Amino acid sequence: MEIISHAYIFLGSDEDTTQRAIDLAKKVNCENMDLAPCGFCKTCRKIQNKTHPDVAEIYPDGVSVKIEQIRKLILSLAEKPTEGPKKIYILHEAHTMTPQAQNALLKTLEDPIAESIVILLSNNLKKLIPTVISRCQIQDFSEFDVKPILSADIRRKIVDILYQNTQKSEFTGFSEYVKELSDVDENAEEILEFILSMYRDILLAKTNSSAAFINKDLKPEILKYVSISTVDSILRALDLVYKQLKAVKSRGNKNLIWYNLLIGLKEV
Ligand SMILES: [Zn+2]
């Protein structure tokens, strides 16, 4: 039996994630628990038709979700559900929340109410504050090619270089790691794409997400990172790798890219 979290981030297009959120709302409120979500009970149908009183959808007011909207949500959270066991709040384009709105929501996420589930829909994790992200379970429904490009041996070698580099105090062996990384006989773009997918996996593991790893075969190596990283440092690492990927695409100097990457990852 899957454990239901009190807060989620569903990553992907608004259309896809909305349906996933509706499905979750049905699943926890369905009248036929053995079949949940059955899709045909009165509750399931009301939720699908968006007429269920315990399922609320919040959209940005203009360009952002404002603190007043989050305050209203928090007030409503304190009330018991009227029909089913759980109240569901679906927050569209959650990344448009103002910093004040995110901070207000954070307090609620830290002190969850058993009868409610908050689902943040977003396609841009980078605009959410790390403390909000770390309180939610991330489910990634975005569409991308989930097959690793590089061979397992190569990927393992890269993870090993990165791990050694971040674990060593000061700059012991630093230039050696830069050399080892530039000696990996693969396209720099593909190496960086892999490193991005690796940090994405680390983030999923860190937030106890049940979403599938891209690098399933590297799970032991990825779990090693989980204990030495914070959500904040993982997001900074993702940002850093992404910057180097952009530099590669604009034909930057390869050695400089590996140097910047490794020095940056030591500091995240
Ligand atoms: Zn049902």
| In a shared domain, residues 122 and 33 | yes
| In a shared domain, residues 129 and 194 | no
Query: What does the pLDDT profile of the chain (268 residues) look like in tens digits?
Result: 467 889 999 998 998 899 999 999 999 999 988 888 888 899 999 999 999 999 999 999 999 999 999 999 999 988 899 998 999 999 999 999 999 999 999 988 988 788 999 999 998 888 898 889 989 998 888 765 556 789 999 999 999 999 999 888 777 788 899 999 999 988 999 999 999 989 988 988 888 776 678 888 899 999 999 989 998 899 899 989 988 988 888 877 778 899 999 999 988 8
DSSP state, residue 170: T
| In a shared domain, residues 12 and 133 | yes
Per-residue model confidence (pLDDT) at position 253: 79
In a domain? residue 162: yes
Ligand 1 centroid from CA 102, angstroms: 33
| In a shared domain, residues 43 and 134 | yes
Per-residue model confidence (pLDDT) at position 209: 72
Per-residue model confidence (pLDDT) at position 202: 92
- pTM of this structure: 0.67
* CATH code for the domain of 203: 1.20.272
Cα gap 55→265, rounded to integer Å: 42
The residue written with tokens 């604009």 in the block is 250
Q: Which amino acid is at 78?
A: A
Query: Do the Cβ atoms of 8 and 120 come closer than 8 Å?
Result: yes
| In a shared domain, residues 132 and 223 | no
| In a shared domain, residues 253 and 178 | yes
| In a shared domain, residues 126 and 192 | no
User: Closest by alpha carbon to 214, among 141, 143, 130, 148?
Assistant: 148
In a domain? residue 206: yes
| In a shared domain, residues 114 and 215 | no
Ligand 1 centroid from CA 136, angstroms: 26
What range does the domain containing 48 cover?
A: 7-140
* CATH code for the domain of 136: 3.40.50.300
The residue written with tokens 């002190």 in the block is 111
3-state secondary structure of 144: coil
In a domain? residue 2: no
Ligand 1 centroid from CA 22, angstroms: 12
Q: Which of 140, 162, 191 is the last residue of a domain?
A: 140
Q: Which of 140, 173, 189 is the last residue of a domain?
A: 140
| In a shared domain, residues 127 and 43 | yes
Ligand 1 centroid from CA 46, angstroms: 10
Ligand 1 centroid from CA 55, angstroms: 14
Q: Which of 94, 115, 140 is the last residue of a domain?
A: 140
In a domain? residue 146: no
Per-residue model confidence (pLDDT) at position 174: 86
Ligand 1 centroid from CA 253, angstroms: 58
| Burial call 126-137: b when 16+ CB within 10 Å, e when fewer | eebbeebbbbbb
Query: Do the Cβ atoms of 82 and 42 come closer than 8 Å?
Result: no
Per-residue model confidence (pLDDT) at position 251: 77
DSSP state, residue 65: B
Per-residue model confidence (pLDDT) at position 9: 94
In a domain? residue 241: yes
3-state secondary structure of 200: helix
Query: Do the Cβ atoms of 85 and 115 come closer than 8 Å?
Result: yes
Q: Provide the domain count of the chain.
A: 2
Cα gap 197→208, rounded to integer Å: 16
Per-residue model confidence (pLDDT) at position 256: 86
| Sheet (strand 55-58) strand order | 55-58, 87-91, 116-122, 7-11, 137-140
Beta pairing class for 116-122 and 55-58: unpaired
Per-residue model confidence (pLDDT) at position 1: 44
Per-residue model confidence (pLDDT) at position 146: 59
The phi and psi torsions of 103 (rounded to 5 degrees) equal -65, -35
Query: Do the Cβ atoms of 125 and 9 come closer than 8 Å?
Result: yes
The two three-digit tokens of residue 162, written as one number: 């990165």
| In a shared domain, residues 170 and 133 | no
The residue written with tokens 């997001």 in the block is 235
| Helices 99-110 and 67-77, packing angle to 10 deg | 20
| In a shared domain, residues 163 and 128 | no
Per-residue model confidence (pLDDT) at position 168: 81
| pLDDT per position as a tens digit, 19-71 | 999 999 999 999 988 888 888 899 999 999 999 999 999 999 999 999 999 99
| In a shared domain, residues 115 and 182 | no
